[in-house]
Amino acid sequence: MHNRLFTPGPTEVRPEILKELSTPQIHHRAPEFSALYAEIQPKLQRLLYTENPVFLFTSSSTGAMEAAVTNLVAKRCLNLVNGAFSKRWHEITAGNGVPCDAFEVEWNIAIKPEMVDEQLKTGKYDAVTLVLNETSTGMMNPVAEIAEVVKRYPDVFLLVDAVSGMAGVKIETDAWGIDFVLAGVQKAFALPAGLAVAAVSERALERAKTVPPRSYYFNLTNMYKYHQKNQTPSTPAIPHLFALNAQLDDFLAEGLEERFARHERMARIVQDWAKEHFDIYPEEGYWSKTLTCVKNTRGISVKELIDRLVNDYHVRISNGYGAIKEKTFRIAHMGDTQPDEILGLLAAIEEVLGL
Ligand SMILES: *Cc1c(COP(=O)(O)O)cnc(C)c1O
């Protein structure tokens, strides 16, 4: 029996969307592919509040994170770190031989605009990486406010990992001035894993032309060349694109504002529940709208809870990440999940724990 996913990626995919993956295949150099690509493009631009091109990566999110730092850093990159994924972005940057420094704060503390200002004042950097929603800690960093600070430094590009936020919360790419914003589709998009998207600013594309290429597969200049023909440089995950196209139609049918409001509503339900029975891991004011990282104040066995939920209820939540594995557990409330499903999950947890 299928175990319904309440994990912060991969997330549950609706059967109607799974069916789209089995659409008869088309050739990626045929006009019908370009038509599909051209159909998807404006829908992604609406979702991201941007007029920038939105590229499609046949990879998980990590590939798009790698594309950002290998193409868009000419001088030195500042990696803002307050969780596992922001830390990984620093490792990706360093691992590709891109000059960089990590600025790290405690994992339960949000990155604040003043911290970023302090770092950028040094004049050392021409790019900064920031994770919108730290999936490891259930923390939402104040991207809009940080973007205001970054704007004061005209040579500094803002690169945002919005993996577990995009399609669940509003991201005003152009208004905030984000140069690169990426997400894999297995989180709030509620699609199967294996595809990532990223909106890239015009000035980012200009800089990419001047940075010596560090990657062949993740080459933004080349991707843009093909983008103008409504194509991708290599064979893309065509089945995914059928599913993405259908899913974007469903987002727009639900209404973007309504979709974001549903995520807020589910977040409130889980946060209220967590405050009543446990506590919430990150500092207040920065709680994620798409997942909640519950602090295990009762000292329960997280592993046992997860096993019981799977065996007895066929639902799966996630344990804590890395160092906070048994100290926390994570409930995702993102994608196509509905409030009534969240209430059912919480009732199951209460029954298992005898709350
Ligand atoms: C899941 C996740 C990633 C890594 O995604 P992959 O698709 O596994 O490469 C990166 N950043 C954040 C914030 C994530 O939630």
Q: What is the pLDDT of the chain when averaged over all its residues? A: 98
- Label residue 322 exposed, middle or buried (CB < 10 Å: 0-12, 13-18, 19+): exposed
CA 337/CA 343 separation, integer angstroms: 11
The SS3 assignment for 167 reads: coil
Q: For residue range 168-207, what is the model confidence (pLDDT) as tens digits?
A: 999 999 999 999 999 999 999 999 999 999 999 999 999 9
The CATH H-level superfamily of 4-10+255-353 is Aspartate Aminotransferase, domain 1 (3.90.1150.10)
Confidence (pTM) = 0.98
The pLDDT value given to residue 124: 98
Which residues partner with 77 through β-bridges?
100, 127
Q: What is the mean pLDDT of residues 20-33?
A: 98
CA of 64 to the centre of ligand 1 (A): 10
Asked whether 163 lines ligand 1 (CB < 6 A), one says: yes
**Which residues are within 8 A (CB) of 77 and not within 5 positions of it... i.e. 6 or more apart?**
69, 93, 98, 99, 100, 101, 125, 126, 127, 128, 129
Ligand 1 pocket, mutate which of 5, 58, 59, 62 (most atoms under 8 A from CB): 62
Q: What is the mean pLDDT of residues 145-164?
A: 98
Say if residues 187 and 9 touch (Cβ distance below 8 Å).
yes
CA-186 nearest atom, ligand 1: 7
Q: For Cα atoms 114, 66, 183, give the angle at the middle one, nearest 5 degrees.
A: 75
Q: For residue range 80-105, what is the model confidence (pLDDT) as tens digits?
A: 999 999 999 999 999 999 999 999 99
Domain 23-253 falls in which CATH fold? Aspartate Aminotransferase; domain 2 (3.40.640)
Q: For residue range 257-311, what is the model confidence (pLDDT) as tens digits?
A: 999 999 999 999 999 999 999 999 999 999 999 999 999 999 999 999 999 999 9
Domain ranges of the chain: 4-10+255-353, 23-253
CA of 32 to the centre of ligand 1 (A): 31
Atom 11 (ligand 1): residue with closest C-alpha?
Answer: 85
CA of 184 to the centre of ligand 1 (A): 7
Residue 214: pLDDT above 90? Answer: no
The pLDDT value given to residue 213: 81
CA 275/CA 270 separation, integer angstroms: 9
The pLDDT value given to residue 278: 98
Atom 12 (ligand 1): residue with closest C-alpha?
Answer: 163
The pLDDT value given to residue 198: 98
Q: Rg (Cα) of the chain, in Å, rounded?
A: 20
CA 39/CA 44 separation, integer angstroms: 9
